[in-house]
Amino acid sequence: MPGELFGSLMERLFDEGAIDVWYTPIYMKKNRPGIKVSVMAYKEQVDKLSEVLLRETTTLGVRINILSRRILNREFDSIETPYGIITMKISKGNDIYKAVPEYEDCRKAAIMHKVPILDVYNSAIWAYHLKKEGGTR
């Protein structure tokens, strides 16, 4: 399949309900290079997304694997940073605790302030931990 068609395939799969789509370069039989198309979806979308793959690619078949998922509880908090308010995604459970800035908030703030996204990301983490500890360092 020509490489330029993969971009529109990804868009179509997302439009039809895929949660995520990614490509992996692989070697097939007889050492032929190929592209493995992986699609993450809810069970209800499998038939529709398989149909897209069969109709819009050169593949002759689709392999389907059913997986389960274990997740942490999530909540959100807003934090004030020098770059504006950034949403933090808080995940916790089973003695695990994570606080991660929302990517889109960091991206928009970085563009607005003309700084590297890493500066915004690190600023949000620092500000969140200061807020959580209730003080300053």
Asked whether residue 83 is domain-assigned, the answer is yes
Asked whether residue 62 is domain-assigned, the answer is no
Q: State yes or no: pLDDT of 137 exceeds 60.
A: no
51 and 78 assigned to the same domain: no
* Residue-level pLDDT at 135: 58
Residue 42: give its domain's CATH number: 3.30.70.1380
User: Quick one: average pLDDT of 55-63?
Assistant: 95
Number of domains forming the structure of the chain: 2
| pLDDT class of 132 with cuts at 50, 70, 90 | confident
Percent of the chain at pLDDT > 70 equals 98
| pLDDT class of 84 with cuts at 50, 70, 90 | very high
Percent of the chain at pLDDT > 90 equals 84
Asked whether residue 61 is domain-assigned, the answer is no
β partners of residue 81: 84
77 and 129 assigned to the same domain: yes
Asked whether residue 65 is domain-assigned, the answer is no
43 and 83 assigned to the same domain: no
Asked whether residue 115 is domain-assigned, the answer is yes
Query: CB-based contacts of 9: which residues, under 8 Å, 6+ apart?
Result: 21, 37, 52, 53, 56, 57
Domain that holds residue 52: 5-56
User: Quick one: average pLDDT of 71-86?
Assistant: 94
Asked whether residue 85 is domain-assigned, the answer is yes
| pLDDT class of 136 with cuts at 50, 70, 90 | low
Mean pLDDT of the chain: 94
* 3-class secondary-structure state, position 102: coil
52 and 79 assigned to the same domain: no
Q: State yes or no: pLDDT of 87 exceeds 70.
A: yes
The whole-angstrom separation of Cα 76 and Cα 78 is 7
User: Quick one: average pLDDT of 81-101?
Assistant: 94
Q: Are 73 and 93 in contact (CB under 8 A)?
A: yes
